[in-house]
Structure 1
């Protein structure tokens, strides 16, 4: 009996080893998967451009060279706001951009970047990965043969650079401002004239007074753009508390990839997205200190309470309108609002209470 049991165990072990060896052989079949990615940023654009390159590096390293990703920047493919269509058509397998850039063609895409008065970065990541956000993203993008994954977060963004001080809601009327996404619709409701301009054209547009104000990111990227030279008022944020970029994936191409390659790509995207969040936070801290010491003429402002109240009210009215117009928009908005309400309680008990307590002691 003991010999029979031993024989069975050896047989099971042999089958297991054989299966494992077969899997490893398949995983190391030597085939190289060459993918092309289009990004919305120019060559060597810091932080934003670092994320897709880090993703490509990680994918190649983790696959032992079986994944090779070529990245074409906006100054090569000439279509910074055309990444959606280029990946959808199969011209590119992957894209790196921002979901709210596509609101003109697919309005429900804008909710997956950030929302005014919305979630912070940790709250938004919790919603996306564990609170149903990914499933809702799939509902929006799958209709177009695409998949979207988080592509790097800037954290809370500044409210923008203004050539004139904002003292009342009336100062927003007729204001020409580069501001994309839902925030642009909020300002339009208050009489402003929002527009979207590629990053490479922002300084010139502000300098030539094509626009009166702009928001870009925050100290992590804004100082090197030179906006402070022509717009001295730098306002704190309200509109993008957790701006998440995206990796777009052509679904047909994705389905043709082996399971292990898909797993490696998802892991590389997730790691590089988180790394961008860390990098952006670090650079903001470094550049804020630099700004205060080297550029004392920059006037940091917060919008007056009546302006903030007007923007908040306009935002809520727009959310109600979107929910009434489109069942899927309502599903996304309700999901985000519900998750934020729950997560914010913990944010207040943890982060806000801690910071308030420390401030009280230090003062």
Structure 2
């Protein structure tokens, strides 16, 4: 073999070994991400979702994707998730989209809407309709990506110290209620506010607020609200409350393709797991509530009050859509999707339950 050929072979082998080494190193590299959550340490159900996500991502990636979680009592900013993830202080956040309405008004439509879709309908809109595409359109200008982060299902209408009999009973009512529902009640004369989860009981006990909504029996009973506010109203305002995984776009882009897909699947699976867990816990707790807490009075808002809420809701939606083309696009998309989905809900779930009622004596 002449020297030129030998030199060429040695060079080729060196390139091959270098390429193999680089590929091997890339495949073995561990990516460490930081997540901030709105919830306090060991907060049930809501806090389980991000931990399940981190565990699933770790297992599916064979340890190449490690996610650590800082709770609100560590980072001290339960409603600061948007800014902390946007700035890169954290790679991921777990919170709720409607908390950012003061920063970006169009974010609030991706949690849930009063008198809107149920959880299965809303999941259909996210994944088979335009929901994910529209959510990307809202968050991308801020260098963020948003993914569904776990659903509570239908939420209860809240805990009240006094019974609500007329619309006038809402006037001046100080109530913890976030999202679009807070705007609806404000239009009817109430004084809505938002308070971090860890401060709710104290605010109710000290009369900082007169009423609050939190979630439902899956979480409410262990919070002890019934000790102060015995009237427990059925829901209207949050029929499908979807939490949120918020991801810094720079972090997303620097992940290899396979880890991006693992992260995407981990978020989706843990979100659905939270929906199952929340539904289960609500059923179990509701079944025992009357026995364990006989003083709780379950109420439904009177029809005139619900009609006033619905009218205020419709008027506010029309005003919002008229002000911003993207808002109109989001609301029109939800409305059109619901037309189709609700027909099936009516003929499937509602018809089934009505049929059972007709033969139950």
Q: TM-score, normalised by structure 1?
A: 0.93
Of 258, 280, 283, the residue aligned with 1:282 is: 280
Show CA shifts across 1:288-315 (max 9, x none): 0121111111000000000000000000
2:192 maps to: 194
1:70 maps to: 68
Deviation at 1:261, TM superposition (A): 0.4
2:179 maps to: 181
Show CA shifts across 1:9-36 (max 9, x none): xxxxxxxxxxxxx8xx669721000000
Residue 42 of structure 1 aligns to a residue whose secondary structure is coil
1:17 maps to: none
Q: Is the 8 A contact 1:120 1:242 kept in 2?
A: yes
Of 215, 231, 234, the residue aligned with 1:217 is: 215
Structure 2 residue runs without a partner (length 5+): 1-19
Matched, 1:82 2:80: yes
1:44 maps to: 42
Partner Cα separation in structure 1 for residue 228 and residue 144 of structure 2? 40
2:155 maps to: 157
Matched, 1:233 2:231: yes
Of 122, 138, 141, the residue aligned with 1:140 is: 138
1:316 maps to: 314
Partner Cα separation in structure 1 for residue 317 and residue 256 of structure 2? 41
Deviation at 1:50, TM superposition (A): 0.1
Residue 45 of structure 1 aligns to a residue whose secondary structure is coil
Partner Cα separation in structure 2 for residue 30 and residue 180 of structure 1? 44
2:52 maps to: 54
Partner Cα separation in structure 2 for residue 171 and residue 96 of structure 1? 35
Q: TM-score, normalised by structure 2?
A: 0.93
Residue 59 of structure 2 aligns to a residue whose secondary structure is helix
Partner Cα separation in structure 2 for residue 181 and residue 156 of structure 1? 15
Aligned length: 340
The runs of at least 4 consecutive aligned structure 1 residues that moved more than 3 Å come to 25-28
Aligned-pair Cα RMSD in Å: 1.0
Partner Cα separation in structure 2 for residue 74 and residue 108 of structure 1? 25
Matched, 1:250 2:248: yes
Of 246, 258, 261, the residue aligned with 1:260 is: 258
1:171 maps to: 169
Matched, 1:34 2:32: yes
2:359 maps to: 361
Change beyond 3 A, Cα 1:331–1:307: same
Q: Is the 8 A contact 1:27 1:260 kept in 2?
A: no
Partner Cα separation in structure 2 for residue 225 and residue 351 of structure 1? 31
Partner Cα separation in structure 2 for residue 88 and residue 27 of structure 1? 29
Partner Cα separation in structure 1 for residue 247 and residue 354 of structure 2? 42
Change beyond 3 A, Cα 1:154–1:171: same
1:115 maps to: 113
Partner Cα separation in structure 2 for residue 141 and residue 102 of structure 1? 11
Matched, 1:326 2:315: no
Deviation at 1:88, TM superposition (A): 0.1
Q: Is the 8 A contact 1:120 1:156 kept in 2?
A: yes
Partner Cα separation in structure 1 for residue 264 and residue 251 of structure 2? 14
Partner Cα separation in structure 2 for residue 34 and residue 246 of structure 1? 20
Partner Cα separation in structure 1 for residue 336 and residue 115 of structure 2? 14
